[in-house]
Amino acid sequence: MEFMQRISHQLIDPLEEEKDEESFIVLGIYYPAILTQQQQDKKGVSGSGFLNSFFSRNDEENPDFLSDVHSRIHLTYRTRFAPIPRAADGPSPLSFHFLFRDNPLNTIENVLFNSDCFNTDIGWGCMIRTGQSLLANAIQIALLGRGFRVNEDGTGSESEILGMFMDNFEAPFSIHNFVKKGLELSNKKPGEWFGPAATSRSIQSLLRDFSECGLDECLISVSSGDVYEEEVEELLGKNENGKILLLLGVKLGINGINEYYWDEIKEILGSEFSVGIAGGRPSSSLYFIGYRNNELIYLDPHNPQPSVQPGNESLFYESCHTVNYGKLSLSDLDPSMLIGILISGRDHWVKWKESTKSSRIFNVLNKRPSDFDIACDDEIESINSDSNDNGLLVEGDYVDVKPFSQLHCNSCCEIDDSYQDVQCKKQQIMVMDDNEASSNAVDVEVEKVLVERETIDMVDGEALKLATE
């Protein structure tokens, strides 16, 4: 009880005064950088037990912070798992790209015995692993509570959760089943890199196939932070205490995250609703669980571990926790990411909805537009694409805005000076044609905009049609 009271007191209250910039924040819990006397005494305990070795990692770090990091479920690359057959028109496990990333002995074994199958996800599975980590921690919080700590409660109480993520076809949330759903829903073949959209679709489908996992539903948006109240209310109408995972794929910039969103990214990770963010650098997905100053704290899936065979589950459980975390500056963060939000019942939903009223990322709308299909196959991620160092616009880059589905005729369009209120991103966007965008006469930041119907040419007032691709 004392521990739970301490956790409740540490939960961030947005109305409280600003915390010390050096503090650590992990999924809504605040850890001061300056240790209390009790924590210093805790670290000073002599002996060779768990706590002594656990806190020897860094004498300057808060032990409660490290305990929290250690308790997050961390899923990584695995080697020598049950073979995943390649697709006839998909990547080959023997390609140069894959062969030299694995242990040479594993590579030789794979060539001899499973040359047409994938026995490891090294080089292509990092986004799946960060998606698994996000889902696993959402389930852990839903079933065991945010106050669960491995070093105090042991791994036994979460063994059933971790068993859902083992690397075989029988485990409901294994990489094998992620790949299966990726092919069915997103045309992602084994060995191909997933993006946020493919990952969220796979999670939603797998969760619906295994409803006894502890989450009642998963609602996704593959290309925006839009959440539809009608869909959430329908679920809560069936179960007032239902647990709903929201997965929101957003792109907050072109080649890098716009500084405009930095503070809100930190607010999201500092929220009691957060279950983390899957994102990272180009071609390198990471699982973000918190921040300190302007650096995000992450768990890295790129550290390969051997797959664990049935009968040795305890080894797998132990391998899913670590105190080794990384830090990434917000300025280096890829703009595409998958944000996880856990709603636990109606009161939680009302509170989260209220918190989004001033959000620049989230939008709670009454209902999904009936005449506009947003379930498109366009991937919004740039994590798996080559970076564009010259700073020019890249074909296909765009900023999603609320479709003008309510505008059924040109005559009902109203122009507010030189701007159109697109509402969705709570920004004012001025649409310019290519000639204007390339002109040096106006110093503005220009982004391509995907629209449904027509926009207005702001130079001479004539309607300018923008073809959607």
Both tokens assigned to 344: 């636990």
- Distance between CA atoms of residues 129 and 352, nearest Å: 27
- Supply the DSSP string of 263-305, one letter for each residue: HHHHHHHTSTTEEEEEEEETTEEEEEEEEETTEEEEE-TTS-E
Both tokens assigned to 262: 């930095």
- Distance between CA atoms of residues 119 and 224, nearest Å: 34
Active site residue 126: yes
Both tokens assigned to 112: 């001899």
Closest CA to 290 of 281, 299, 282, 300: 299
Backbone φ, ψ for residue 33 (5° rounding): -70, -35
Backbone φ, ψ for residue 434 (5° rounding): -60, -35
Q: Which of 117, 302, 413, 424 is catalytic?
A: 302
Both tokens assigned to 68: 């929290």
Q: Which of 216, 300, 334, 400 is catalytic?
A: 300
Distances (CA, A) of 120 to 102, 168, 196, 362: 8, 12, 21, 36
- Distance between CA atoms of residues 179 and 169, nearest Å: 10
Q: Which of 68, 126, 321, 334 is catalytic?
A: 126
With b meaning 16 or more CB within 10 Å and e meaning fewer, what string describes 448-457?
bbbbebebbe
Beta bridge partners of 85: 117
Length of the chain measured in residues: 469
C-alpha angle with apex 69: 320 to 312, nearest 5 degrees?
A: 15
Catalytic residues: 126, 300, 302
